[in-house]
């Protein structure tokens, strides 16, 4: 009888943990499952889609999703994309939806710019990121959604970005380029088991979102393609990014939170972000980046097990006077670099401004940045750490870092303060002070995933009935 009770409780715990999200002590986005059963399912071909790579299927995707909206309160629905090449323009997702791609399915973005409508700028940016005015809607878009899954058996989403890159290089863009996937003001989002290629701009952009899991994705773009960031969580919280391979023309992962006075006013920070098991390369960007749009604040970011090769910057923080905001409580550990130009970069004079209305006296706070357990081979420069005159970046803590550096001057530091231990080549003078208070360094245990509240809640009960 006692054993049966234990089994009953374990089954109850299993049912609780089967929800896509289970709260934890410190990182409440800790995922438990990336798939959810949907009782209602349709295939895009039922709505007239043709997977020949030529027929434009925007209406088919839109009509299928409109039909599935009636099942949102009945357990949700799944839209299946079978094998084929499915040309489409932008389309919107709905709540309680799974967009699922067959392993041989390719969703292809149209090269007709009119298939990508122009929408309003983000309020935390005040204008398009590249040009004043609006911006093109992402290929897969959604706003104010809950419980959205974009997944597949490693199917592909191809933005056909070359036409957009040519417009950028030729300076003939009229509106800011689109992302492949952008979800706004949404929660309980899963993006998994897919390949994203040739994004016109940033590939995956969750903005003003919470409880986001991005897992087992591959993101590819030519190494010389402009601004093709991989994953950019922006003014979002409780984000988990793990087990991804990214090779693009810009930052593999960049944590952002708005631009100058617009980001300061909107005041929506990025926080509680876990980044794990990432491998990749970028010719023009960084492996793990923060900013330069960080005016709403970035904090509580934990990154580990990062493998970078053939990359310009390993770890990079970008900001400037006028940004305001903060980047603080960052913990990065277990990083392996090979053929990297600059291993650690902190720049206080980086990036342009949206307009002339920014306040040059709005200085950013960069504080409690911990980087440890880093190895690197064929590194040109160990660190370029440049704060702002009158606004020293503080509590920069480096430990157990061993880099094979080719430059005779491995560190270049100014307007920074902090601590270093077991760093080779020996770090710069501002980081050689032994701290009187060890709490200046941000420790690892703040963001380590914990057991779920549900399991912790029921643990005493399990012990009681098993006695």
Question: Which positions are annotated as active-site residues?
Answer: 250
Torsion of CA 99, 191, 194, 113, to 10 degrees: 70
Backbone angles phi, psi at 13, to 5 degrees: -60, -40
Q: Token pair for residue 374?
A: 């880093």
**Residues 303/263, Cβ–Cβ less than 8 Å:** no
> Peptide bond before 425: cis, by omega within 30 degrees of 0?
yes
Torsion of CA 368, 374, 377, 379, to 10 degrees: 0
- Contacts of residue 323, Cβ cutoff 8 Å, sequence gap at least 6: 259, 260, 263, 291, 292, 293, 294, 295, 351, 362, 363, 364
- Contacts of residue 46, Cβ cutoff 8 Å, sequence gap at least 6: 64
- b/e map 404-441, b = 16+ CB within 10 Å: ebeeeebbebebbbbbbbebebebbebbeeeeeeeebb
Q: Token pair for residue 418?
A: 């902090």
List the beta strands (DSSP E) in 33-121. Answer: 40-43, 52-56, 77-81, 84-88, 91-92, 97-101, 105-109, 118-119
Q: Which of 220, 214, 218, 279 is nearest to 249 (CA)?
A: 220
**Residues 251/310, Cβ–Cβ less than 8 Å:** no
């Amino acid at each position: 009888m006692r054993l049966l009770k234990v089994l009953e409780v374990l089954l109850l715990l299993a049912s609780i943990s089967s929800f896509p999200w289970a709260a934890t002590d410190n990182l409440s986005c800790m995922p438990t499952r990336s798939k959810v059963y949907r009782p209602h399912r349709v295939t895009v071909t039922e709505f007239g889609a043709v997977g020949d790579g030529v027929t434009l299927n925007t209406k088919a995707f839109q009509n299928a999703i409109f039909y599935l909206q009636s099942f949102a309160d009945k357990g949700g629905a799944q839209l299946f994309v079978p094998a084929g090449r499915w040309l489409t323009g932008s389309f919107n997702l709905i709540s309680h939806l799974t967009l699922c791609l067959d392993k041989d399915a390719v969703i292809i973005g149209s090269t007709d710019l009119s298939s990508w409508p122009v929408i309003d700028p983000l309020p935390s940016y005040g204008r398009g990121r590249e040009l004043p005015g609006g911006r093109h809607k992402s290929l897969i878009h959604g706003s104010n959604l809950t419980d959205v899954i974009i997944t597949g058996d490693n199917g592909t989403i191809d933005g056909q970005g070359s036409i957009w890159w040519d417009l950028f290089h030729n300076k003939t863009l009229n509106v800011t380029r689109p992302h492949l996937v952008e979800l706004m003001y949404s929660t309980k989002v899963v993006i998994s088991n897919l390949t994203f290629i040739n994004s016109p701009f940033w590939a995956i952009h969750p903005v003003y979102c919470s409880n986001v899991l991005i897992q087992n994705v591959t993101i590819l773009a030519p190494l010389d393609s402009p601004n093709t960031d991989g994953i950019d969580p922006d003014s979002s919280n409780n984000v988990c990014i793990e087990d991804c391979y990214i090779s693009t023309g810009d930052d593999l992962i960049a944590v952002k939170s708005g631009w100058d006075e617009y980001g300061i006013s909107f005041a929506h920070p990025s926080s509680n972000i876990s980044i794990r098991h990432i491998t990749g390369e970028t010719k023009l960007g960084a492996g793990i980046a923060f900013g330069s749009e960080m005016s709403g604040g970035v904090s509580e970011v934990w990154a580990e097990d990062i493998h970078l090769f053939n990359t310009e910057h390993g770890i990079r923080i970008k900001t400037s006077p006028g940004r305001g905001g903060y980047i603080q409580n960052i913990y990065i550990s277990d990083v392996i670099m090979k053929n990297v130009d600059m291993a650690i970069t902190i720049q206080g004079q980086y990036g342009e401004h949206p307009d002339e209305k920014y306040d040059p006296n709005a200085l950013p706070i960069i504080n409690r940045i911990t980087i440890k357990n880093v190895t690197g081979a064929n590194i040109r420069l160990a660190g370029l750490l440049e704060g702002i005159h009158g606004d020293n970046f503080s509590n920069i803590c480096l430990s157990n870092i061993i880099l094979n550096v080719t430059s005779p001057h491995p560190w270049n530091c100014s307007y920074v303060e902090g601590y270093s231990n077991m760093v080779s080549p020996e770090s710069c003078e501002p980081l050689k002070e032994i701290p009187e208070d060890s709490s200046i360094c941000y420790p690892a245990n703040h963001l380590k995933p914990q057991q779920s509240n549900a399991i912790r809640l029921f643990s005493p009960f399990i012990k009681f009935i098993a006695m």
